[in-house]
Amino acid sequence: MDKRTTKLPVASAEAKTLVRTRAVPAVSRAIAILRLLGKAKAPMGVNAIAQSLDLIPSTCLHILRTLVQERLIAVDAETKRYRLGMGMLTLARSAREANAFPASVQAGLDRLSSKWGVTAIGVDVTDQEQMVVVALSRSNLPFRLHVDVGSVFPALLSATGRLVAAFGGQPVPELKRRFQKLRWDKPLDFDAWYKEVAQARKQHYSIDRNTYIAGLHIAAVPVLDDTDHITHTIVCASLVDQLTKQQQLKLVAAMQQEARLLVRPKFD
């Protein structure tokens, strides 16, 4: 979430037309193989796949082995025939959940922003390298945090970042490496930050006071999957002195209640 005095630039339609994409043959071929196997009524061998897609068999085999390693396709050890793997179901489920979350969380964000006078935000953290704002609700108060749906930030930043570290399952050395690249208005060292990560894991919420953006109080609660792995967060931002400490804790409790409404099987 960016500073109140700065608004993130939004690409214009004209600028977007200037963006050029360059085909990546290996990616295009891998997608073609997945689509072919998705339409096939029975598993297929290397030669049949290569012939159907006009690929060199050796190239086709290399791509197939990579897709098997990523569990997107599976191979029968005896027949050497390929079919879609269970990894495709995982991707499909993730895509459904990612698309369902903004609509599912919006009413809760509206309730939070209206009652507490905060900017309420739904954040996707399925990519642990970055967080993406996918839903937003602003209050009617003069204070407004300049953040838009689609805004992207480093995943370990602010209150959400502590929750990503707490429930993301990444090893401490990796967290430390990524933490060192973050920028804060009021920097803190890794040890102090990691203590807050441990506290966030215990309490199931995190509060960033004056560190990421001076003058702002940013609270976040996690939305976890059925393995207690973080997928999203609900975030509320306000001025530091806008709410009393008791009100802040009540706000967190309200955010946690909204998060509980989003648990599975609602996304299924």
CATH code for position 252: 3.30.450.40
Whether residue 78 is found in the same domain as residue 102: no
Q: Helices in 117-189 by DSSP H: which ranges? A: 158-167, 172-179
Give the pLDDT confidence score for residue 267 in this predicted structure. Answer: 43
Domain that holds residue 135: 91-260
Domain boundary, last residue among 84, 108, 128 = 84
Between CA 197 and CA 208 the distance in angstroms is: 11
Grade residue 251 by pLDDT with cuts at 50, 70 and 90.
very high
Assess whether 30 and 101 both reside in one domain: no
Q: Is residue 6 part of a domain?
A: no
Per-residue pLDDT tens for 189-246?
Answer: 999 999 999 999 999 999 998 888 888 899 999 999 888 899 999 999 998 888 899 9
- Residue 104 pLDDT greater than 50, yes or no: yes
Kindly report whether the peptide bond that precedes residue 57 is cis, defined as omega within 30 degrees of 0: no
DSSP state of 19: -
- Edge to edge, the sheet with strand 152-154 lists 152-154, 130-137, 119-124, 230-239, 216-224, 206-209
Closest CA to 220 of 142, 127, 100, 133: 133
Number of domains in the chain: 2
pLDDT digits (tens, 9 = 90+) for 122-165: 999 988 788 989 899 988 766 666 788 888 899 999 999 999 99
> Which of helix, strand or coil describes residue 2?
coil
3 domain-assigned: no
Boundary of a domain, candidates 84, 109, 130 = 84
Does residue 268 fall inside a structural domain? no
Q: Where are the alpha helices (DSSP H) in the chain?
A: 13-16, 25-39, 46-53, 57-69, 86-116, 158-167, 172-179, 190-203, 245-260
* 48 and 97 together in one domain: no
- Give the span between the Cα atoms of 141 and 128, in whole angstroms: 33
Residue 93 or residue 164, greater confidence: 164
Cα→Cα distances 80→43, 46, 57, Å: 9, 8, 14
Q: How confident is the model at residue 213, as a pLDDT?
A: 86
Residues 85, 66: Cα–Cα separation, whole Å:
12
How far apart, in Å, are the Cα atoms of 174 and each of 159, 171, 179, 265? 18, 6, 8, 32
Task: Note the pLDDT tens digit of each residue in 22-62.
Answer: 678 889 999 999 989 988 889 999 999 999 999 999 999 99
Q: Are residues 120 and 251 in the same domain?
A: yes
Give the pTM. Answer: 0.63
Q: Which is nearest to 33 in space by CA: 65, 77, 63?
A: 63
CATH number, position 78: 1.10.10.10
Domain boundary among 43, 61, 84: 84
Higher-pLDDT residue of 12 and 221 is: 221
The verdict on 59 and 141 lying in the same domain is: no
Same-domain status, 72 and 130:
no
Query: Minimum mean pLDDT among 7-16, 171-180, 195-204: which range?
Result: 7-16
